Structures are given as C-alpha cells and as structure tokens.
Amino acid sequence: MRVYQTEEIRNIVLLGSAGAGKTTLAEAMMFDGKVIDRRGTVEAKNTVSDSAEIEHIYQRSIYSSVLFTEYNDRKINLIDSPGSDDFSGGTFAAFKVADTGIMVINAQSGVEVGTEIFARHAEKHEKPIIIAVNYLDHEKANWENTLDSLRQTFGNKLTLVQYPVNPGNGFNEIVDVLLMKLFRFKDDNGTFEAVDIPASEMERAKELNAALIESAAENDESLMELFFDKGELSEDEIRKGLRAGLKTRGVIPIFCMAAKKDIGTKRLLEFIINVAPKPNESREYKTKEGEVIPCDSKGSPSLFIFKTAVEQHLGEVSYFRVMSGKITESMDLINANNDTKERISALYAVAGKKREKVTEMIAGDIGCTVKLKSSRRDQTLNGDGKRWQFLPVKYPDPKFRTAIKPKDQKDDEKLGEILNRTHMEDPTIVVEYSKELKQIILSGQGEHHINILKWHLTNTHKIEVELFAPKIPYRETITKLAAADYRHKKQSGGAGQFGEVHLLIEPYIEGAVENNRFKFDGKELVLNLKGKEEFNLEWGGKLIYYNCIVGGAIDSRFMPAILKGIMEKMEEGPLTGSYARDIKVYVYDGKMHPVDSNEISFKLAGRNAFKDAFKKASPKIMEPIYNIEVFVPSDSMGDVMSDMQNRRAMIEGMSSEKGFEIIKARVPLAEMYKYSTTLSSLTSGRATFTMQFAEYQQVPAEVQDKLLKAYEAEEKDE
C-alpha cells in the first residue's frame, strides 16, 4: 500500500439504526476498492467488521470496526458503528476522529429510532451528514414515505443528488441529478452503464437539478452571484457549493443504494472523494490548553489514540488518528499524559481483522499499532518535544446501574480484572468498587449493554455472575441539638477498661455563626471552645469537632481516640449504616480512671455517646437526587409523564425540539433502577435520556420508615 497524503484521505463514520445495512455497505465499499475480493453477508456471518461471536448470534454490530478502502487513488477510512444507543461508546469515539457521517436509512421503514438518536449525536459533535437510502431493492421499499420521514426529521437541509426510478423488486435504475445521467445496473456486483436520462424522467430530473443548484449556490456567495448571472452552475461549481454546505452542516445530500447488490456504492465513494471534507478541512482539534493544532503533514509528529482493544493472539491493539506530521515505523514518541516513551514497532492500515503493514502514516490518516507499553485510549503521543494533549472523547453518562457479584467467591479477583479490562476497551462500562455499599456497581448505557457483558463473562471467561438491584448511597444527618453521655467500663481480671464521654451535637450549616451557648433539657450550657478540627468528608459534607474539656476531666491524649470512635460511627450511620454528614460535635466533659483508662475505652465511649445523641437529634435520611433530561416523541409524552410521577419526579421544565419533547426533572436515584428499559418500552425505543447527580435531599417520612424497618430486619438476620 502506498503512503497517502492528507489531501488524499477521507475519514467516514457509518451511522444509522440496527438493520439499516451499514455493515453490508462497508463490505461493498471495501469490495469496490479491492481491499477484499468477495463480499461477506451478515446472514453468512462472514463480514469483515462483525467478527465477534456475539455479533454473529445477534446478527448486528455491537462493537465499532475500523476499516478502509482505496478508490480512485484515494484512501477512505471507515468506522462501522453499532446501530443501538446501548453501544454508542464506539460511535462517540468515531466522532472524535471521523470528519463526515454517512447516515444509512432502510427504505422499508424510513427514519427509525437510531436515525433520530444518531442524528442528534452527529449534530452535537458538529459532524456533516450524507444520507444513503438503502434496501431500495426490497419488495417493501417505499421511496416516497422514506423521503417524507427524512423531511420531517432533517427539514430543508435535505438535497436530493439521486432518486430511484424503479424501487422495489427489480430495482436497477438511479437518476443522478448532479451528473444528469441515469445509471442502469446490470448485475449484483455493481456493474453499471451511465446513459442519457429518458424523456419520461427528464422533467423530474431537471426540476431536482435546479433545486440542487440552488442549494449549492446558497452556501457560497460567489456561486450565488454566478448563478444569478448565468442561471446555471457546472458540475464542479455544484460540488464546490455542496462542499461548503456540507462543511457547515447546511446541506444534507441524499443518495440511493442497494448495498447487498453493490448498487450505488461506487457513486457514493466518488462523491465522498469529491465533496466530503478532507482531514485538514474538518473542524479544528484543540489541546487541553486550548491550542489549535493544524492537521499539517509538515508539522510535528503527533497521534491520538481513540480506541484500545485486546485481541487473543496479539494483545493490546491501539487505534489512532495522526493529528499532525508524519508517523513512521520504529519512531520514538513521548506519551504526554504520563511522560512515558513509546516506540512505534509497527504501523497498520486496518480493515477489521485484516491489517496491511505500512511504513508511515501522514496527518489525517487512521491506523493502528500494537504492543505499546503504557499508552491507552484518550492519550496523545508526540515527537519533537511537544507536550500536546488532545481533549479526550466525551462519552455519554451511564443510564443503567446494577450490582454484580460472582456466584463463586473465589472468582472475585478474576472478575475484577476482567471488568477493569472491559472498561479500558469500552469506557461506557463504568465499574465502581463501593466501600460504602460493599458492592461492585456496574453502569452502562442500557440493560442490553450490561447483558452483553454478562454473556461474555459467562461464555468467554467462564465466570457465572449475578446481577441485582444496587443499594442506594443514602446519607444520614441531624436536624436539631442533642446531648448524650456514655460510660464504657469493663473489668475482667488484670487491667480493666474505663472511659466516660459527655458530648453535644448539632447540625452543621454552611456560613452559620459559631456559638458556645446551648440550651437543652431546660438547662443552659456555656462551653469553652478550646480546640476545633474541621473535616471535609470524602463522601460529602463536613464534621466539625470541638474540644471543650476543662479542668482535665479527659486527658488531651484521649481526644484523638474519641474522634476516631465518632468518625467510625459517621462511616456507618446509626440509622441505616449509611455515611453520616454535616454535624458539629462538642466534647465537653467526661471521666477517667488512673489505671484502666486507655485509647480503646475512650474510642468506644465516644462512638456510643455519638450514636445515642444522633438518635435524639431528630435524625433524617437523605437520598441522592439526579437531574434527568428526557427526549421523548410527542405521542408518548403522556405515558412518560405518568411513569415519572410514579417515580417521585419533580418536573422542572419542558420544551420542544424537532418533533421531540424535552422533559427536565429531578428524580431520586432509588426510583431510577431499570428506567432505561421502561422508557424504551413506553416509547418503542425512540426516547433517550441523560442523568447527572444533583444533590442530596431528605427522603419523605414514609420512605424513611420503610428504610429503618428494612435495616432493623437486616440487623436481626445478621
């Protein structure tokens, strides 16, 4: 394979719903570029991209695949992305390195769930889109309905470059209104002849050609003037206008396909080469410091790793985009994220499992290398002493949360290793080892996402696991002043144990004035605030610890032990065993024994005095509240709102966007278990949502009673 220059490279991500034919289109593109000598099919389980066993079982893409084809002396890098939002992590990584999206549409069903979802993702990432309407050879193909659904979703940005003459069984003719030719396909291998448009189609073709010219002219002022002067534009001028419109997302060209028969693929490849942005024309890439790094082959060598995968016989494979300069085999680079030195032992152009060795890669190209020692996804490798760190891929926040444990305890360590490796390969799988909940919490993009991981654990790694509802990280605090004392006394031959602690607790309120006068049980107590320690708790909130001992009632050497006992009870709250927070503690009196007093005695006395005072201080349980934003089709609004009310949601606002309603609400985490599954069921998979932690709020009284009873029952069982 020859070395391709920046201007000769195009980077494409294939988008669309599951079943739209992205993988089949990728096969046709590679076949037309002679990268493969025969086209595989999803049904035969022999495609280049869907090579994993689980993809064969489901007959759909679950992981993104990096591919390439060569056509007309150009290299087109392709990333075949999954069609389900549950596996969108690979798509988000692809958006980081691809310059254009090809949205594949199934002509049998038009705009589907995945179309809407990935169109929103593409818009958010500012990626231009070309639409390829596929399956026009299917007996249920409906061109007009598909076009209507596209107009409803994408509006007036749509521009027809082609239309089918005879969609359905026997489909073999496409009118191209840019070239003003009819393509007649002769076989199932993409062989065609370009002929004059027949009279029966000429009026329609001229009308669409005029609309295409107008659309192209609207995106370039010089072309608009030219159009007004001449009343027409040449093919190259139309391409120039479309190129400008595509770059700014002002135009969305539409092409016709039957990828399984290789109908329309070559023309789409030509258009990508002629019109799609080159790597040095796409949006700017910034470093963490905000510096813009041009995609310049003459710049300093730099690459960004966007994907790390582990292969059985190869180890770690690092997929990257060359951000600047030239990367060569045996080149030494420095990882800007961890200052380690890496040698590029080999460079490969990638077509799934097929890799073609190359000696160098130029800015804008995509490839892979192997056996990097300390470099992973989202990291930057540089030469020439540069310290560039490109911004990491911003992955979607998790939507599904579950607890996991092995059925056999001896698999604990192995499970941990596999989960950590899984997160490295798929960062949308988030693993948290919760000391607080004493559980491994697994988060992902949906229930199907997690179930695929469970399948791998069972079938690939031979570990049986259980998935179950995770505990909720509640917090405990107090609402009023309370006092308590506790004497720890133990005598069992030899040295005994003795320690007595009197303390007072009150709620910590940010910004409150410090006070040393307190009233409780009809008495007024004035304390001498001798010492103060303030702790920002790792689980949120504060503990303020005051030493108010006078007259040597408790020796100062025992004060840290009392604090330790209190902190232990803060870590295992008196109500439900959850973390306690936002409390002031005043230790003001106590007693010692000249022989039997020691640190353990005062630790236990402090712990139990705090526990007793806590229960007198009108304690409350607080729960985590999340901000959620739901994108829901208008016709499902009622069902979704009703479900949210059942989840104790507080609706904070509603708005509309392109046929979708956006609901903003605050919902307790305890009510969000399997919400993604429910939402998908209520809306036939069309709705999506995001959720982010907001704050802790007091639980309602009936919920608190329920939690207290459940904890008491758990304590009795133990």
Distances (CA, A) of 696 to 24, 37, 480, 671: 49, 60, 18, 14
Note whether residue 102 is domain-resident. yes
Q: Which of 556, 587, 618 is the last residue of a domain?
A: 618
CA distances for 78 relative to 25, 156, 179, angstroms: 11, 28, 25
Which of 483, 399, 411, 481 is CA-nearest to residue 440? 411
How, if at all, do strands 475-477 and 482-490 pair? unpaired
Q: Any idea of the CA torsion for 162, 167, 170, 173, to the nearest 10 degrees?
A: -20
Contacts of 535 (CB under 8 A, 6+ apart): 542, 543, 544, 545, 567
As a whole number of angstroms, the distance between CA 538 and CA 579 comes to 10
φ, ψ of residue 366 in degrees (nearest 5): -120, 135
Range of the domain at 183: 6-275
Specify whether 537 is located in the same domain as 463.
no
Q: Is residue 670 part of a domain?
A: yes
**Residue 231's pLDDT is what?**
76
User: What is the DSSP-derived secondary structure letter of residue 538?
Assistant: T
CATH number at residue 552: 3.30.230.10
3-state SS class at 202: helix
Is residue 503 within 8 Å of 438, Cβ to Cβ?
no
3-class SS of residue 314: coil
Q: Are residues 465 and 488 in the same domain?
A: no
Residue 668 CB coordination number (10 Å)? 19
Q: Which of 345, 349, 368 is nearest to 357 (CA)?
A: 349
Q: Are 32 and 89 members of one domain?
A: yes
Question: Do both 357 and 496 map to the same domain?
Answer: no
SS3 487: strand
- Asked if the structure places residue 584 within a domain, the reply is yes
Q: Is residue 668 part of a domain?
A: yes
Return d(Cα 76, Cα 62) in angstroms, integer: 22
Helix (H) or strand (E) holding 708: helix 701-717
Same domain, 485 and 458: no
Cα(162)–Cα(187) distance, rounded to whole angstroms? 20
Backbone region of residue 220 per phi and psi (left: phi > 0; alpha: psi in -120 to 50; beta: other values): beta
User: CA torsion angle for 426, 279, 246, 630 (degrees, to 10)?
Assistant: 20
Whether residue 378 contacts residue 393, with contact meaning beta carbons closer than 8 Å, is answered with: yes
Phi-psi region of 417 (alpha: psi -120 to 50; beta: other; left: phi over 0): alpha
The CATH number given to whatever domain includes residue 405 is 3.30.70.870
Residue type, 515: N
Do 254 and 322 lie in one domain? The reply is: no
Q: Whole-angstrom Cα distance, residue 200 to residue 135? A: 24
Taking the chain (718 residues) in runs of 10, the rounded mean pLDDT of each run is: 96 95 96 94 90 86 94 97 92 97 97 89 95 97 97 94 97 97 93 96 96 90 81 90 94 97 97 97 90 96 96 88 97 97 96 92 97 95 96 94 96 95 94 92 95 95 96 95 94 82 95 89 89 94 95 93 96 92 96 91 96 96 96 91 95 85 95 94 89 94 92 75
DSSP-based three-state secondary structure for 609: helix
What is the residue-wise DSSP string for 203-229? HHHHHHHHHHHHHHHHT-HHHHHHHHH
Residue type, 393: V
Q: Which residues contact 608 (CB under 8 A, 6 or more apart)?
A: 486, 488, 565
Q: Rounded to an integer, what is the distance from CA 72 to the centroid of its chain?
A: 36
Considering the domain architecture, whether residues 209 and 138 belong to the same structural domain is answered as yes
| DSSP 3-state of 53 | helix
Q: Is residue 637 part of a domain?
A: yes
Q: Would you give the DSSP letter of residue 276?
A: S
Task: Decide if 525 is inside a domain.
Answer: yes
Among candidate residues 618, 636, 670, the one where a domain is terminated? 618
User: Of 424, 413, 419, which Cα lies nearest the Cα of 467?
Assistant: 419
Quick one: 180 and 96 in the same domain?
yes
Q: What is the pLDDT of residue 77?
A: 98
Whether residue 640 is contained in a domain is answered as yes
Q: Are residues 630 and 697 in the same domain?
A: yes
Tokens 């929103």 map to which residue?
Answer: 120
- CA-to-CA distance for 279 and 277, rounded, in angstroms? 6
189 Cβ partners below 8 Å, 6+ apart?
31, 261, 262
Closest by Cα among 169, 165, 108, 163 to 135:
108
322: domain CATH number is: 2.40.30.10
Domain contains 715:
no
- Chain Cα centroid distance, residue 102: 21
CB 180, CB 209: distance < 8 Å: yes
Q: In what order do the strands lie in the sheet with 400-406?
A: 430-434, 439-444, 400-406, 465-468
Round to whole Å and give the CA distance between 681 and 678. Answer: 5
Alpha-carbon Rg for the chain in angstroms:
32
Which of these, 617, 593, 621, 607, lies nearest to 697 by C-alpha position? 621
Q: Which amino acid is at 382?
A: N
CATH number at 105 reads: 3.40.50.300
Could you tell me if 189 and 198 are in contact, meaning their C-beta atoms sit under 8 angstroms apart?
A: no
375 and 455 co-located in one domain: no
One domain for residues 535 and 665: no
SS3 content of the chain, % helix, strand, coil (to 5): 30, 35, 35
The span from the CA of 226 to the CA of 222, in Å, is 6
Residue 429, phi then psi, degrees to nearest 5: -90, 115
Q: Which of 418, 440, 471 is the last residue of a domain?
A: 471
Which residues lie below 8 Å from residue 404, measured CB to CB, with a gap of 6+?
A: 415, 419, 440, 441, 442, 465, 466, 467
Report the C-alpha gap between 262 and 132 in whole angstroms: 13
Measured CA to CA, the distance from residue 546 to residue 549 in angstroms comes to 9
Q: What is the pLDDT at residue 314?
A: 80
**Residue 493 pLDDT:** 65
Counted domains in the chain: 5
State the pLDDT at residue 717: 67
Task: Write out the two tokens for 405.
Answer: 């444990």
* Beta-strand relationship, 360-362 and 326-328: antiparallel
Phi-psi region of 7 (alpha: psi -120 to 50; beta: other; left: phi over 0): alpha
Residue 56 CA, distance from chain mean position? 24
The owner of tokens 């045996």 is: 330
174/64 same-domain check: yes
